[in-house]
Amino acid sequence: MHPVSETAPLLGNVEPAVERAPAMKKAGDCMPHAETLSHGEHHSSNNSDMIRDMTIGFADGLTVPFALTAGLSSLGSTKLVVIGGLAELFSGMISMGLGAYLAAATERQHWEAEYQREKWEVDHCFDREREEIFEVFDRYGISRDGARGVVDELCVTSPKGKERWVKFMMDFELQLPEPDTSAAWKSAVTMGLSYFIGGLVPMIPYFVMNSAQLALFVSIAITVVILLVFGYVKSWVTIRTKRAGLWGALQTLLIGAAAAATSYVIVRLLDSGDGQP
């Protein structure tokens, strides 16, 4: 009887496992999707700022220097186009990098100021800050009774408890996640280099051709291809649909063409006034 009594529980354990198999299989079917979402969220959290900086820098580099060189090409001198284009390219790279650094540094300073303010309020306005937690949960449709346990866990006056409390208020009340301490330099380098690379490519024909007009047509062809590819990839990476990629490619191309055409017309109009008082 003893072996039977040992076997019965084992069989009893197997039986529910068979019954749960479909549920486990269904959960397993969702696992790749869940892992993909988890990976995507992790990737976005770590690299979204870098992707943003690369997009802004490269897009500006493709449009602004190209528009300038297209306008200068109307003067008929490739040397003038190269000198003016390089001057704008280096100054633009420095300007974009410096702007990105100041923006990231300001974001960090803003977060630190808000953190200190929230820390002071937790120390000196206990009841009001506790009530604000209920208000945060109320935005998500959670009742006071349902949130009371979490609020009691958060509102702890120990040093570690206050740190968790302040972090909660920063994340959910103010919606200000802590910026990366190295984000300023990363943003500056990323945006500056992206601008330089994006602006250098349309200038290549002017380095190897003597005719400014012919170099302009080659530069236009190169820039059109790059704008289409860049616009497609940028939109597809963020939205993950072919339709969004095609629309992003067309939108990027139209913006670049409008900028170049405007610059070209302005330079031609200014040049036509030479010799006049």
Does 103 fall in a domain? yes
Cβ partners under 8 Å of residue 110, min gap 6 = 176
Within a domain: 131:
yes
What pLDDT was estimated at residue 11? 40
Q: Is 192 part of any domain?
A: yes
Backbone angles phi, psi at 228, to 5 degrees: -65, -45
Residue by residue, pLDDT tens for the chain (277 residues) are: 444 444 444 344 444 444 444 444 444 444 444 434 444 444 444 467 777 888 888 878 887 788 788 878 877 888 888 999 999 999 999 999 999 899 888 988 999 999 999 999 988 988 899 999 999 999 989 999 999 998 988 888 888 888 898 999 998 888 888 887 777 888 899 999 999 998 998 899 999 998 888 998 998 898 888 888 888 887 777 777 888 888 888 888 888 778 777 777 887 787 666 545 4
Is residue 10 a part of any domain in this protein? Answer: no
Q: 184 in a domain, yes or no?
A: yes
Residue 91 lies in a domain: yes
Domain ranges, residue 201: 51-267
**What per-residue confidence (pLDDT) applies to 47?**
61
| Burial tier of 165 (Cβ tally within 10 Å: 0-12, 13-18, 19+) | buried
pLDDT the model gives residue 274: 54
Q: Residue 5 has what pLDDT?
A: 44
DSSP 3-state assignment of 180? coil
Residue pair 175/136 in contact by the 8 Å Cβ criterion: no
Is position 29 within any domain?
no
Domain count, the chain: 1
pTM: 0.64
